[in-house]
Structure formats: structure tokens, C-alpha cells
């Protein structure tokens, strides 16, 4: 059970990505305008957030297969307007819990399903 601390989870890069994501979500017409601008041949590079920006970062603290729950120390979750914290999540699919163990760094997405914050995607970073 090694705990490698290569990077802080709350990187400034994440905050920038989250801000960009929120901006796009608030003004979808703006994203459309940016794409239209790209159609011109002046080779402008749009600062669009990559799909991965939607995923939050976390570290597994506890896997509870019996209860179908996962404790994560997580970074900000943009779509839930949630700051970094350690908390218990439900998982959408119990099989997710077979793929992670204590100490794993993960990327995940979480949504509020039936009133419970639920992990809907979980990727271990190894």
C-alpha cells in the first residue's frame, strides 16, 4: 500500500480547466461562435476545454464493496459545484469497486442520482 505523492490534487491547472468548463456551460452560443471563427483560415487555436476536464481528480481512501460505497479524497467537482474534500460516494456500478484499491489515484465523474452523489465513471491512474 504505497502512497505516492507525485502531485498535489488541487493543481492550478484544474482550476483553470474548471473555470473554462463553467464558462462554456454558461454560454453555449459562445462555443458555437468560437467554432465558427475556426472555420476561417487564419489558424486560430481555440482554447476549448478537453473532454477530460469534466472529470474530477481523487484518491481512494476506502472501498466498501458490501455497501457499494467509495470514500474519495477529491478535488473540485465542477458539475456539482463542490470544493475539494474527503467524502463517501455511492457507485453507479458495483463492478467499479473491483478496479480500485486504497491509495489509488483516480479520475472520476459524479452526479446526483436519486438524491445521492454517485460516481458514474471511475478510471484508476496507474
What radius of gyration do the chain's Cα atoms show? 17
Dist CA 109 CA 119 (whole Å) = 6
Taking CB under 5 A as the rule, does residue 85 contact Cu ion? yes
Up-side HSE of residue 25: CA atoms within 13 Å toward CB? Answer: 13
Among 34, 48, 82, 88, binds Cu ion (CB under 5 A): 82
CB 105 within 8 A of CB 59: yes
Dist CA 2 CA 47 (whole Å) = 37
Nearer of residues 9 and 48 to Cu ion, judged by Cβ: 9
Taking CB under 5 A as the rule, does residue 24 contact Cu ion? no
Taking CB under 5 A as the rule, does residue 87 contact Cu ion? yes
Nearer of residues 31 and 120 to Cu ion, judged by Cβ: 120
Kindly state the smallest distance separating residue 123's Cβ from Cu ion, in Å.
18
Residues near Cu ion (CB under 5 A): 82, 85, 87
Amino acid at each position: 500500500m504505497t502512497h505516492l505523492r507525485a502531485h498535489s490534487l488541487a493543481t492550478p491547472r484544474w482550476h483553470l480547466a474548471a473555470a473554462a468548463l463553467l464558462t462554456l456551460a454558461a454560454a453555449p452560443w459562445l462555443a458555437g461562435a468560437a467554432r465558427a471563427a475556426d472555420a476561417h483560415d487564419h489558424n486560430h487555436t481555440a482554447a476549448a476545454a478537453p473532454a477530460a476536464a469534466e472529470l474530477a481528480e481523487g484518491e481512494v481512501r476506502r472501498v466498501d464493496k458490501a455497501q457499494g460505497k467509495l470514500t474519495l479524497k477529491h478535488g473540485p467537482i465542477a458539475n456539482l459545484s463542490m470544493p475539494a474534500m474527503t467524502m463517501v460516494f455511492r457507485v453507479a456500478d458495483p463492478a467499479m469497486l473491483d478496479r480500485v484499491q486504497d491509495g489509488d489515484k483516480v479520475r472520476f465523474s459524479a452526479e446526483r442520482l436519486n438524491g445521492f452523489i454517485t460516481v458514474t465513471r471511475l478510471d484508476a491512474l496507474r
